[in-house]
Amino acid sequence: MDALHKGWFTEFSPEDLEKIKNGSSGEDKLLRSDGQNMGGAWPGQAFSLQVKKVLFNEKSKYQDVLVFESETYGNVLVLDGIIQCTERDEFSYQEMLAHLPLFAHPNPKNVLIIGGGDGGILREVLKHPSVESVTMCEIDQMVIDVSKKFLPSMSSAFSHPKLNLFVGDGFEFLKNHKDSFDVVITDSSDPVGPAESLFGQTYYELIRDALREGGVLASQAESPWLHLPLIAHVVAFNRRVFPNVRYAFSAVATYPSGIMGYLLAAKSDRDLSVPARELSDDDIEKMGLRFYDSDVHRASFALPQFVKKSHANLEVEPNASNLRYLINVKKDNKPGFDLDAGIDKYITKNPKDYEIDLSQLRDLAISERSKFDNNYSKLFRGADIVCCRGTLTDIAKTPYYGDDPWRVIAVRRDDIIYLYNCGIIDGNSFKPPSPNSQDAHFTYWGHKFQTIMTSINPYLARMGTFDDAEVVDCRETYSSIHRADIIKTDEEVIKLAYSSEIKAVNNYGDFIDFKTHYTRVTDKFYLRKAWFWWLQSHLAAINRIFTGMRDDQGIVRKVEVLDKNFLYRRSEKRCDVVMNFLATVLSEVKKRCVDIVQIRYCPTSRKVHFETSHAPSSITCDRSNLRHLKRFGKHSKTKFDLDDGFATWITKDPDNYRNDLRELQLWAAEVASCSSAKEAFGGADLVCVRGSLTTIGVTPYNDDKGWRMVAVKVGDVIYLHDCATKDGTRFASASCARQAHCMYWGFKFEQYMTTDAENNSDTYSPIDCRETYHAVLRTDLVRRGRDDPLRLAYTAEIDAVDQTGDRFVELKTMGEKMDDKFWNYKSHKWWLQSTLSGIDRIVVGHRNSSGVVVQLRNMDTKKLSSNRMTDVIMTFLSAVLSEIERRLEKDGNLQIRYDPKGKKVHFESAREQETNILIDEFHKLFFSLTMDTYAEVYDKPGTRLTKPLRIGEYSSHANLSVEPNSNNLRYLIHVEEDFEPKFELDTGFKNYIAKNPKDYENDLLPMQIWAISQWKECGQNFNKVFRNAEIVCGRGTLTDIAKTPYYKRDGWRMVAVRRNGVIYLHDCAVIDGTKFGPPRNTTDAHQTYWGHKFHKVMTSKNPDLAKLVSWNVQYV
């Protein structure tokens, strides 16, 4: 069957026509973007027009070109069997595609049209008087020729003098034109064949480069009734290209479905839905507009709900590559799916992936923030709390799942609270079910049902093709970002932004969910699951849940569709309870979270606890936290349950793991009575914590673990700081449930094995790992081939002391046997830790897999090492630290990074934000001035000031006016050699007229006024006024700086500004406010006055009187 048949033209979807004509699959006629299959154009439907006369029908170099006269729509242009325009309705399309971008731009002058060979867009563009030049790129000359002949009302502007016509590929044209156009309009056919390139990201990147700043683009963007996946894809990648992207649509009668969409994007943040220029009735009449006006402009951006849901969330979603589509299920379909098939090929998530619930949302925010002026509040649409849907679900379900504990950390940053799910405290969260367990099968059945019922290919989904053999890979997910408000009261609204994993969309773009359940739905379902399914769906804006009704063997016998509202009606009370509970908890989070708050639910007490997740940073220079080892036999058997009390464990804040030097600096600031940091640390060359030395030293034996540190040299001391590695694996308080338990077991073992100073034992109080005892140690690292050792100072956390109170003891737990794994991976680390702390005894608790200690053992530190191991570790440590010292011979900073893939240690420049590792208390005590740096300057010969040259003078008066004269110059009174004065300098103190405090700051003001008075005489050149000076300032500024080596406790602050080759140095008030204020009735006030008084007594403004011996001691 042909498109022209018995006096009628029928517009088929290209792939349908290919099937009819050739019997092929029509796959080569599917819509495509960036190589991805976007399904058919409008499969299963067609549009027909009665043909009055065929006017033209030939094949050009690129496509079939047909023009016919219709009975009702005038002349019609058809390319490759698809209607491009008709004389009856063309204005509805041409006006919208042209005027939406032109009126969105405040002043369009240069316009580029890609495509549009019929001339309609060109005609509309030239209606704008501000347009100075129009460039058109049309690839097919035949389209232009037939339009001029058969579509005269559209092609009338081809002879306009403002037109520059280019017949060729617009894609190639854009490559050679950068920053050239105010508006670019793409009037292309559907993305089949040659037009596919005009729907790819590369094409839009070329348009972005061709646009000037503030430029606007508009493109034909298909019908939302037919092409939602394609629209969502194009909108998504354009949001990575442009900071401002919107979608609009309008009615066009002869286009498929009667609707046409338009994509608008801009290199500015102005609202594209609001016209930059309003049209009056006279303007509309003058421009001859029949469809577009300012009201239609605004209305075209008002999208119906099904369109919003399909791509509204893509405003912050980078792509839809993992989005799946619901397979079209026929009514008579009897599924019979075996959900257990393929379980041996099941690809599960890595356990760590279960924890990092905010990581994808964080990465997305970082990638998108530049589009929102680096403002996260704008990016998250003004949300108060940002999290993942799973976090909200865990909290909300608590009233009916009261036996399931949970723990969440809330962190406030820039007025946004980020909720981080830390895993259920009993360790059952954040790990996949055990293989071959019943839970494993249930989990797999859910993923398998979702996989069977959906397809990654929207075209195949419409065809209703099931693929039972597809491997289930639950690592590949698609998430949507949502904004929602929870109304707690009329006065309190909690604004949320959260990510939610979306299982699939249907043909209309609606989100849908998948569940499996037993074949019978009983009252137990409505009590235990209905409200929970509703909660998950409600938070994800999902209305329908496809449920696979299965038997005990995992065979789906029936597929039912549950409506979200139906679930709410069946469990309305429970739904309301969980939402009220969620609102209450989140409201408390908003009130309590000033910095960091831990929120945990304890099933034993049935309470939600709000706790600060870390103690204030403070230290006491005493032994109050030192623990004492209990007595026990050489190989005592015992039974300690190390898991006891895990739910009440108080952990460190993750940031405290990074602040590893903080306590050491606080100690130095507290106890040191010396004047330099080097002296405070016992003459050390390098200062760090024991953990940094251990990390470096064991690298030869733990070469699969990367690490990164920053070294900063201040004065003659190097400070080494351990940083988080790029993959974020370091400094996590518990990177997975198993590690959390192992970490807790170590602390719990210390509690079992020790007492306080008064021999009191308490094994029931919650473990608080913020309370620790540290020793500060000094040692010399002997370097091979060198006489000078490297002097180290470091802090080490001490577990306990023995009964004598003098010898430190290390406490460790491990498995029941000391196997090869221990000797290969742990022994060298234990040895180095203990050796650095001067510990020769380790008490080991051998535990089973459940965390129960079954035996105690004393271990000699020396027996952990061999001569070879000791040599390797210490040689490597010495080499790395010596290289750090060599590279930091002068003040500076350095990043040291071990790459486990390349097995190399890299020495690189450190990031500026990571080099500020000295705390204020420490810096203020030892580094208010680095005297050693100045000593280098003093030793250099020739640092002198040449004899000053006087280049001008001025007088400053009481009202702060300045005159370039010597009216206020005073003359020294002549004094006889044998004169013995007796001046009372305190006379007149009460009448002392001091400067205004602000005048003390305006040290440059009089000089600037003087310079302005000399400006014209020096050819209006300040360089000449100041005799080519590089720096201009007041003498007091120079004095304040110069006296610093001997007045190092006097702070000062200045601002330097460069203007036209001259630096102006301005003395500012110091931060503590002690400067720039006149003294008030203090000893300083009198001494200041005495200086002024002596000056006045010894001088006179009258030079003649000064020559006489005459003093006026009453002078004010």
Catalytic residue set: 187
Q: Is 237 within 8 Å of 264 (Cβ atoms)?
A: no
3-state secondary structure of 155: coil
Considering only CA atoms, which of 185, 150, 144, 146 is closest in space to residue 168?
A: 144
Contacts of 79 (CB under 8 A, 6+ apart): 63, 64, 65, 66, 143, 189
Name which of 239, 194, 198 is nearest 222 in CA terms: 198
SS3 121: helix
Tell me if 664 sits within 8 A of 789, measured CB to CB.
Answer: no
Q: b/e map of 625-653 (b: 16 or more CB within 10 Å)?
A: bbbbbeeeeeeeeeebebbbbbbbbbbbb
Task: Write the DSSP string, 724-790.
Answer: --TT--SS-S-SSHHHHHHHHHHHHHHHHHEE-TT----SSSPPBTT---EEEEEEEE--TT-SSPE
The amino acid that residue 145 corresponds to is D
The beta strand positions in 542-592, using DSSP E, are 544-550, 555-563
Q: Rg for the chain (alpha carbons), in Å?
A: 40
| DSSP secondary structure letter of residue 27 | G
Is residue 328 within 8 A of residue 508, CB to CB? The reply is no
Distances (CA, A) of 441 to 244, 339, 376, 552, 645: 46, 9, 41, 11, 32
Burial of 624 (0-12, 13-18, 19+ CB in 10 A): exposed
Q: Report the candidate in 76, 71, 81, 74 with the shortest Cα–Cα distance to residue 51.
A: 71
Place of tokens 């839009």: 204
581-586 contact pairs (CB < 8 A, 24+): 581/395, 581/396, 581/398, 581/399, 582/392, 582/395, 582/396, 582/486, 583/486, 583/487, 583/488, 583/494, 584/488, 585/395, 586/385, 586/395, 586/486, 586/494, 586/496
Among 254, 193, 245, residue whose Cα is nearest residue 221: 245
The residues, ordered by sequence, that sit 6+ positions from 563 with a Cβ below 8 Å of its Cβ are 543, 544
Give the sign of the dihedral formed by CA 913, CA 917, CA 919, CA 924. negative
> In the Cβ-directed half-sphere of 275, how many Cα atoms lie within 13 Å?
19
DSSP class of residue 529? I
For residues 1070 and 1051, is the Cβ–Cβ distance under 8 A?
Answer: yes
Tell me which amino acid residue 814 is.
M
Q: What angle do CA 118, 119, 122 make, to 5 degrees?
A: 150
Give the integer Cα–Cα distance in Å for 1034 and 1066: 8
Cβ-based neighbours of 65, under 8 Å, separated by 6 or more: 56, 57, 58, 59, 77, 78, 79, 140, 142, 143, 146
SS3 393: helix
Q: Three-state secondary structure along 39-104?
A: CCCCCCCEEEEEEEEEEEEEECCCCEEEEEEECCCCEEEEECCEEEEECCCHHHHHHHHHHHHHHH
Ramachandran sector of residue 44 (left: φ over 0; alpha: ψ -120 to 50; beta: rest): left
Q: Which of 643, 748, 608 is nearest to 427 (CA)?
A: 643
